[in-house]
Each structure stands twice: as structure tokens, then as C-alpha cells.
């Protein structure tokens, strides 16, 4: 979140200035806001996701919450790890669609999470060597681990913005330091909108973020489903909500499609993430996440 306080992550260096100087030398920039304190007493979505992907940027509270909650997931913890990998693969396919088919050369990844292999800028730059990318997240762990991305980001074309979708205007202002918002932008919101209750008006927030973007811009989102294995998923996220700082709201196919209202859906519409334009025929289990991509044509 912009303007809040940086603190040291337990067990890691607290020298924020050193990270920022190294980042600037490698071409990565940050907004002037710094992160809030890292809370290790409650599980956090980005760290739970990192654990499920086999990462190390998580704490015991995140691991314990995941193991307890995902025992109720259809197929258990191993199945959810498969689902998370499918979700990550879908992100790569969306970025390639933006670059190859939609003619997009710049990307805004809102709710980017902890840096992983095959992040947006890595996938995009395989297609477009000079692609520009802005990552946005409000979890302080993201900045702490962003140095993992420094090796492939020459020229200041990648930046990290501490921002919250509940306040889109600062995100747009900071993004404009790296992106040319007079040109089409590919926006991704993978796995974040289920952290917004109906009272937060996620569709309205999406509208605020997309309104200044020019025609030809696109939005891709994924969202946990309420109408796929509904009983098991409800139990999973009831358990996880009791352990996490942020609560999850499951939504149906039609409710997820409504979040893209006002934009033109790209084929095949809103489908399970594993079924959004798969690279080849796959026997992977159907994802428990809805995925959709839409284009702004006016």
C-alpha cells in the first residue's frame, strides 16, 4: 500500500536502500511509497500461494493455514498444487496472447504476488524484447523478494508499484512513469478479485482502472469459483478465511463474467483457467478458477 511503513522481514536483511540501489543499476524501478510492516501472525494470500508453488517466501503460519484449509479441497493438497500450476500456466498463455495476437507491448500486472519464474516480464520479453511491465501489489513481501527478478530487466522497463486496487488512481499515476498510457495496455488481475467482497464494488474498481486506458487495451482475470465443487471449496475457504488477514469471496461463472461487463469478451469467453486456450490437448484436471479475457474497443 502506498505511503505505509517498511520493516525488516524476519531472517532477512533489512537494508532497503541496498535493494533499491541494486535494482536501479539493473534497470528496475520502484515507486516512492514503501511497504507496510510484514505481519507474521496471520496467513497472507500471496505467501500461501508461494508455498503452494513450492516457494520459500512464506512463514509457518502460511504453511499451517494452507495444509489445514486445503485438506478440504477436492483431491487434497496435491490437487490444489496442480491447480495452482495450471493457474500459473494460464497467466503465461494470456501474456502470449497479448503479445502475439492483441498487438500489446506493455503490461500492468495488478496483484502480482511474490516473484516467480516465468513472471509477466519474462514471458512478454520472449515475444517482445523491449516489452515494458509494471507490477502492482500491496504485500510488503513482494518488494523484499523483487530482487529475484533483476537479472532480465535492463533499461528501466520494469517497475514495482506498491498499490491497492481499492484506490486505482495512484496505480495509474505510478504506472505512467514506465508505461505509455496513450498506447494499448494489457492488464492482468490473476487471483486477486476474490479478495474483494461485493461491498468493495470490484466491478466499479475495474472500471476506474480501465477507463483511462485506450481502445485496444485488454483485461484478463481469474477468480475462485463458487459453482465448481461448491461444498468442498466453501469448506476450504471457510478454514482459510479464519486464518488469513484477507477473506476470500467465491463467485459463480455469471458473477465473474459480470466483472468484465462493458468490455468485449475474447474467445472462448469465461472458462476454467486450464481450458483458456491451452497450448495443446491436456489431461490436467479442470481448474477451480474461472478465467476470462476481454478487450476495450471504445
Domain extents in the chain: 16-38+82-228+248-295
The pLDDT tens digits of the residues spanning 17-73 come to: 433 343 344 334 444 344 456 777 888 888 888 888 888 888 899 999 888 888 888
DSSP one-letter code for 178: T
β strands within 112-251, DSSP E: 132-137, 158-162, 186-190, 218-224
Res 192: pLDDT: 94
Alpha helices (H) in 53-161, listed in sequence order: 60-69, 76-100, 120-127, 140-145
User: How confident is the model at residue 140, as a pLDDT?
Assistant: 75
Would you give the DSSP letter of residue 251? B
Q: What local confidence, expressed as pLDDT, does residue 12 receive? A: 36
Quick one: average pLDDT of 256-270?
Answer: 97
Per-residue confidence (pLDDT) for residue 159, from 0 to 100: 87
Give strand ranges (E) for the chain: 28-30, 106-110, 132-137, 158-162, 186-190, 218-224, 264-265, 271-272, 289-295
Residue range 16-38+82-228+248-295, CATH number: 3.40.50.150
Mean pLDDT of the region 123-128:
95
The torsion angles phi and psi of 10, rounded to 5 degrees, stand at: -55, 130
Among 158, 128, 143, which residue's Cα sits nearest to residue 4? 143
Residue whose C-alpha cell is 485506450: 214
CB-CB contact of 179 with 134 (8 Å): yes
The answer to whether residue 170 scores a pLDDT higher than 90 is yes
Q: Which residues pair with 272 in a beta bridge?
A: 290
Model pLDDT, residue 17: 41
What pLDDT was estimated at residue 283?
A: 61
Long-range contacts of 234-241 (CB under 8 A, 24+ apart): 235/72, 236/69, 236/70, 236/72, 236/73, 237/69, 239/65, 239/68, 239/69, 239/72, 240/43, 240/48, 240/65, 240/66, 240/69, 240/70
Q: What's 155's DSSP letter?
A: G
| Prediction pTM value | 0.81
Amino acid at each position: 500500500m502506498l505511503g505505509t511503513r517498511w520493516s525488516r522481514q524476519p531472517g532477512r536483511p533489512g537494508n532497503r536502500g541496498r535493494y533499491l540501489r541494486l535494482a536501479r543499476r539493473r534497470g528496475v524501478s520502484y515507486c516512492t511509497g514503501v511497504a507496510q510492516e510484514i505481519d507474521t501472525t496471520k496467513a497472507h494470500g500471496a505467501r500461501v500461494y508461494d508455498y503452494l508453488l513450492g516457494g520459500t517466501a512464506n512463514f509457518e503460519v502460511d504453511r499451517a493455514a494452507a495444509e489445514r484449509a486445503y485438506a478440504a479441497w477436492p483431491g487434497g493438497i496435491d490437487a490444489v498444487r496442480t491447480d495452482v500450476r495450471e493457474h500459473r500456466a494460464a497467466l503465461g498463455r494470456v501474456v502470449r496472447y497479448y503479445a502475439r495476437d492483441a498487438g500489446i507491448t506493455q503490461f500492468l500486472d495488478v496483484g502480482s504476488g511474490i516473484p516467480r519464474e516465468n513472471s509477466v516480464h519474462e514471458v512478454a520479453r520472449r515475444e517482445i524484447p523491449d516489452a515494458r511491465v509494471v507490477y502492482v501489489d500491496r504485500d510488503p513481501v513482494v518488494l523484499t523478494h523483487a530482487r529475484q527478478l533483476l537479472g532480465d530487466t535492463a533499461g528501466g522497463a520494469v517497475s514495482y508499484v506498491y498499490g491497492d486496487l481499492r484506490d486505482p488512481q495512484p496505480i495509474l499515476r505510478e504506472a505512467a512513469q514506465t508505461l505509455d498510457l496513450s498506447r494499448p495496455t494489457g492488464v492482468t488481475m490473476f487471483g486477486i478479485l476474490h479478495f474483494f467482497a461485493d461491498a468493495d464494488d470490484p466491478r466499479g474498481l475495474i472500471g476506474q482502472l480501465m477507463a483511462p486506458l485506450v481502445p485496444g487495451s485488454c483485461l484478463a482475470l481469474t477468480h475462485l469459483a463458487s459453482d465448481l465443487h461448491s461444498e468442498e471449496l466453501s469448506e476450504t475457504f471457510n478454514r482459510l478465511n479464519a486464518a488469513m488477514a484477507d477473506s476470500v469471496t467465491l463467485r459463480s461463472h455469471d458473477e465473474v463474467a459480470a466483472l468484465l461487463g462493458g468490455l468485449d469478451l475474447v474467445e472462448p469467453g469465461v472458462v476454467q483457467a486450464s481450458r483458456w486456450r491451452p497450448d495443446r490437448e491436456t489431461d490436467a484436471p479442470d481448474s477451480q478458477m474461472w478465467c476470462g479475457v476481454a478487450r476495450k474497443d471504445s
